[in-house]
Amino acid sequence: MVERSSKVVAGVFEDAALLRQCRKGDMDAFAPLVKKYQDRLFNSLLRICGNYDDAEELCQETFVKALEGLAAFRSQSGFYTWLFRIGMNLAISRRRRSGRVKFHSLETTDSDGEQLLWSADALADCREIDPQDAAERTDTNGRVMAAMGELDEEFRIVVVLRDIEEMNYEQISQVMNLPVGTVKSRLYRARCILREKLTELVR
């Protein structure tokens, strides 16, 4: 945990140094930030909008808006959380226009020991399992996606940020511009709804 915290702090300082270079006119300094965060951002956006092409477009648009808005970024939050705020806002707008939502993946616990019903890796790879196992996982995945699709967007996003992106509550509050208490209550409510919808999967 200490090692991870040290890496996070080092990452924040590294981001700040690159942003200073960008503000001085060195736009090449933005490329390492794109490389650092594009996969994580894309994966989260994919789970919000449910469409690869849309997620790719949203990811690119997020970085463009971030670059255009650097002058207004005051570093009150980290670049990472600010970037995700832009991305989530764009995803919400896109989702409201299209009405398309699909979710992937399932798991039972996270690093804090909290009970979950989903995660980025649980259904990622079906190699070296028997056909019956694969069929059961496919069925489970479909049911989880359907349940997630029924969540209101404010619940859906907090689930993605917490249980897939593994943001802490403070980071999520910054991304969503909400008090930490509201983040916790939405996450609790979202998990209760999913648990209710998927009772037979977690018995």
To the question of pTM greater than 0.85 for the whole model, the response is no
Q: Would you state the CATH architecture of domain 2-98?
A: Orthogonal Bundle (1.10)
In sequence order, which residues have a C-beta less than 8 Å from that of residue 86 and are 6 or more positions away?
A: 62, 65, 66, 69
Contact 163, 116 (CB under 8 A): yes
Arithmetic mean of pLDDT, 35-58: 88
What integer pLDDT is reported at residue 11 of this predicted model?
67
**Selected residue with higher pLDDT from 169 and 134:** 169
Taking the mean position of all CA atoms in its chain, how far away is CA 164?
6
Does residue 24 have a pLDDT over 80?
A: yes
What integer pLDDT is reported at residue 76 of this predicted model?
67
Arithmetic mean of pLDDT, 92-120: 50
Contact 125, 141 (CB under 8 A): no
Residue 39's identity, in one-letter code, is D
Q: Would you state the CATH architecture of domain 102-203?
A: Orthogonal Bundle (1.10)
The ranges assigned to domains in the chain are 2-98, 102-203
- Please classify residue 29 by burial: count the beta carbons closer than 10 Å to its beta carbon, then call 0-12 exposed, 13-18 middle and 19+ buried: middle
What integer pLDDT is reported at residue 47 of this predicted model?
78
By percentage, how much of the chain surpasses pLDDT 90?
36
Calculate the dihedral angle through the C-alpha atoms of 102, 99, 90, 77, rounding to the nearest 10 degrees: -60
